[in-house]
Structure 1
Amino acid sequence: MGLGRRLYRGEIDVDFVGRKKLWYSLSGLLLIFSLAGLLINGLNLGVEFKGGTVFSFKAPTANIEQVRTEFKTLGVHQPIVQEAGDRWRVTTETLPAEQVAKIQDAVVKEYKADPKQIDVQQVGASWGGEVANKAWIGLGVFMLAIILYLSMAFEPKMALAAIVALVHDLVITAGIYAWSGFEVTPATLLGFLTILGYSLYDAVVVFDMIKEVTAKLGTTSKKTYTQAANDALNHTLIRSLNTSLVAILPVAAILFIGTTLLGAGTLKDLSLALFVGMLVGTYSSLCVATPLLVTLKEREPKYQAIARRLASTGGGAKSAKRAATAKS
């Protein structure tokens, strides 16, 4: 509690930029872990992307293993069984009409299901490919819009730092999906786009404060760009943490309570992307985007001159040390 109060009052100055090697090492490990998951396991694409047959029916007395075993005995390879409210949703490979009819008859016989309440949906692989293409196009347009906006509102180096942080967030979130085996559905893509917007919002708040603070730096400044940026980051720290906490709590409730205790399986595709993305997005805004921006800015002649001038004075040793750290 004491630490929280001191953070809130601004009594603690965290040297985020000075610890950039620590953050880069941590991000590197997370990226390696995520890429390994994508290469080893790959993404568990839903039927909307790879095509297949989806059965939906009521069977109150059944459990997941019973439903899975029943479908396997009917010749289905690796059926994906999910409980959606009071109904079972079973996703299979694309099945011929004769086998679909056979499965419907077996469900009616085994679980006393009403034939009129057994829904069957055939999804073609070509339609799934079209959805995937549109998702990539949407992601590309979003990234381009971010670059243009940040370049006009701030500067190209801030846009570059923000894009690196966004890609960092996407890869780690996708890696978590690969390791967890969660199904990737259109809802997952919506979650990915949402976390991109959230991560961008956090970065814009930080960059706006950095822009305001560093605009005052001149030839007689007593701070390097590194110090000024770190001070700006500390001023927005509590705002970022509070915003993240308020946003993460309801998402965590959906993920851990809604899907685990209440069995709302259809929500986990969206909630996992949001939960992981918000956590990683907050981290990247503070510990990836800002240190990277400082590294780029400290290479400019103007800020190098400030660092050299401060290094030549007795009181500027700390400033010069931070500047040298940022450039390394």
Structure 2
Amino acid sequence: MSRLGTIGGRLHRGEISLNFVGRQKLWYSISGLILVISVVSLLTLGLNFGVEFKGGTVFQFPTKPGTTTSDARTAVTDSGVVKEDPIVQKTGTGWRVQTESLTSAQVTKVQETVQHRFGLPKPDDVSPQSVGASWGKDISQKALQGLVIFLVAIIIYLSIAFEWRMAVAALIALAHDILITIGVYSLVQFEVTPSSVVGLLTILGYSLYDTVVVFDKVRENTRPLLTTKSMTYSQAANLGLNQTLVRSINTSVIALLPVAGLLFIGAGVMGAGTLKDLALVLFVGMLAGAYSSICIATPILADLQERQAKYRDLAKRVKSKAGSAKRQSRAANAEATAKPAADAPESEPQDTVPGEEEGDAATSVGAGIRLVQQGPRQQPRRTGSKGHPSGKKKR
């Protein structure tokens, strides 16, 4: 646990690093696959628009435990006035059935049929609600206008606060998040309601917030690059991404936990259908936003910046400098390896032939070597003052 607690500090100091920017092809491939699935789903399945957008009549009624979706659908269609297949959803205490727009007489017929099928006390226990298609069209137009205004405001703010390339990268990441979220709605066929639209606008702001935090650190790291020439733009951007990685993950996890509670407990267990529409778009959008701010927005920004001539020249200089340092390191290693052999002590030259005692001398005769035995050197005898050996007296 102590090691996990220091990961954030080590990432911030650059002691460890995850190469997100260098693996942009992997992230682009993953996102491309998800986007293709989303587009195919939208073209084939489409979106399941709620009654607020396409108009219709909604019936809500309580039932006894054990009633199935098929039972609720059959109870409505047996009235004989519903032509299209109704959409049936489980609520906390009963069922919610959506049909096409019906007249007052048709609504009364459905109420009586459902009351008889489930043994309800009176027809008013089946609560009807009719919504015109024009209201849903107005909601759709206002949602689209709000989205356009939001995106224009983002472009202006990021272009002023940072630069236009960061604005482009952030917009691509936002479009990525929107398309994935809509694609998931199409795949699971959740109903699109005004709550879904509100949730979509909410996740756009959340995704943008996370991206701006990363971009601010990237700008701080890349500002002195052309002066120091210590690393490329991609390397500096990846460093900034690693320095904010733990913060981004913590923010995303803390935000996703309550949304997951709404989706899996509120909608899944308790059957609150109104929470399901809002919770799904928030959960998917926040998850996609956290992924895009780390793996999409910053790599795209680095790719756009590396196209500039000044950063291309910087990359060449950094690469050349790294190559020179590597060559010097190899030369130093080679010199260090060769030095012990050069410093080894040389063997002393032998003055005598091996196996001969001290005092033998070698002299060359013709092409051979003749050993001349020399006897042991005799010490001179000491004599007295008159030439007699010392220690002896003359008789």
Q: Which of 199, 202, 219 lines up with 1:211 in the alignment?
A: 219
User: Structure 1 residues 200, 121: CA separation in 2 closer, same or farther (over 3 Å shift)?
Assistant: same
In structure 1, the residue corresponding to 2:234 is in which secondary structure? helix
Q: CA deviation at 1:115?
A: 3.5
Q: 1:157 to 1:113 in 2, by over 3 A?
A: farther
CA root-mean-square deviation? 1.9
Q: Following the alignment from structure 2 to structure 1, what is the Cα–Cα distance between the partners of residues 226 and 47?
A: 50
- In the alignment, structure 2 segments of 5+ residues that lack a partner are 327-395
Report what 1:21 is aligned to.
25
When Rg is computed on C-alpha atoms for both structures, the one with the higher figure is 2
1:317 CA drift (Å) = 8.7
Q: Residues 185-206 of structure 1, C-alpha deviation per residue, up to 9 Å, x if partnerless?
A: 1011111111101100110000
Structure with higher RCO (Cα < 8 A, 6+ apart): 1
After TM superposition, give the deviation of residue 220 of structure 1 in Å.
3.3
Residue of structure 1 in register with 2:392 after alignment: none
69-78 or 180-189: bigger deviation = 69-78
Paired residues for 1:1-328 under 5 Å: 4-5=4-5, 7-9=7-9, 10=11, 11-61=15-65, 62-75=67-80, 76=82, 77-111=84-118, 112-315=120-323
Distance 2:324 2:147 in 1: 45
Give the Cα–Cα distance (whole angstroms) in 2 for the partners of residues 118 and 3 of structure 1: 60
TM-score normalised over the length of structure 2: 0.77
The change in CA–CA distance for 1:113 and 1:260 in structure 2 (over 3 A counts) is: farther
Counterpart Cα distance in 2 of 1:42 and 1:3: 48
- Which amino acid in the other structure matches residue 178 of structure 1? S
- Cα 1:234–1:52 shift into 2, 3 Å: same
Tell me, in whole angstroms, the C-alpha distance in 2 between the residues paired with 1:175 and 1:317: 50
State the SS of the aligned residue for 2:268: coil
Q: In the alignment, what sits opposite 2:381?
A: none
Q: Which runs of 5+ in 1 are unaligned?
A: 319-328
What is the one-letter code of the residue matched to 1:104?
A: Q
Per the alignment, in what secondary structure is the counterpart of residue 113 of structure 2? helix
| Post-superposition CA distance 1:301-328 (Å, at most 9, x none) | 221221122222245799xxxxxxxxxx
- The Cα of 1:3 is off from its aligned counterpart by 8.1
Q: Which runs of 4+ in 1 moved over 4 A?
A: 1-6, 315-318
- Letter of the structure 2 residue corresponding to residue 245 of structure 1: V
Deviations 1:133-155 (A, max 9, x none): 11111111111111111111111
- Higher mean displacement: 144-153 or 67-76: 67-76
Contact 2:60 2:128 in 1 (8 A): yes
**Aligned pair in 2 of structure 1 residues 27, 317: CA closer, same or farther (>3 Å)?**
farther
Deviations 1:268-322 (A, max 9, x none): 111111111111111100111100000011112221221122222245799xxxx
What is the number of equivalent residue pairs in this alignment?
Answer: 318
Contact kept, 8 Å, 1:53 with 1:122, in 2: the verdict is yes
- TM-score, length-scaled by structure 1: 0.92
Relative distance call for 1:86 and 1:317 in structure 2 (3 A) is farther
User: Structure 1 residues 83 and 157, CA, compared in 2 at 3 Å: closer, same or farther?
Assistant: same
Q: SS state of the match for residue 228, structure 2? A: coil
Letter in 2 for 1:233: L
SS in 2 for 1:218: helix
Q: 1:207 to 1:65 in 2, by over 3 A?
A: same
